[in-house]
Amino acid sequence: MDKFWLMDEQFKTIKPHLPTDTRGEERVDDRRVISGIIHVLKSGGRWVDAPREVYGPRKTLYNRFVRWAAKGVWADLFATLANAGGPPRRCSSIPRP
């Protein structure tokens, strides 16, 4: 499967909706991590299969996915992307866990 990367316009659309309540060290690049998470979800693969050289540490992908899923962040981000329009093949939708 091709590697997924959020387009500039998509990232600008969701950036205002990203959590800002982080403490401690600065968060790893959001666009890179979100693209990696979407890559894993779209491919149906395992976290360990995400190319580290493209998306960064797999544990970061998994941890961010789990934390944001618990907060409902993913449902909001994907709804924002879907409502922004554009070709449907470029938008993803995942139900809230």
Predicted confidence (pLDDT) per residue in 2-18, tens digit: 788 888 888 998 899 99
Range of the structural domain that residue 62 is part of: 8-15+28-89
Confidence of residue 52 (pLDDT cuts 50, 70, 90): very high
Residue 62: count other Cβ atoms within 10 Å of its Cβ: 17
Identify whether 34 is part of a domain. yes
This prediction has a pTM of 0.79
pLDDT winner (highest mean) among 4-18, 23-37, 47-61? 47-61
**CA-to-CA distance for 59 and 79, rounded, in angstroms?**
25
**pLDDT tens digits, one per residue of 67-85:** 999 999 988 888 887 887 6
Identify whether 95 is part of a domain. no
Backbone region of residue 72 per phi and psi (left: phi > 0; alpha: psi in -120 to 50; beta: other values): left
Identify whether 39 is part of a domain. yes
Identify whether 97 is part of a domain. no
Looking at the structure of the chain, the number of domains it has is 1
Identify whether 21 is part of a domain. no
Name, in order, each residue with C-beta under 8 angstroms of 38's C-beta and a sequence gap of 6 or more: 4, 6, 92
Identify whether 23 is part of a domain. no
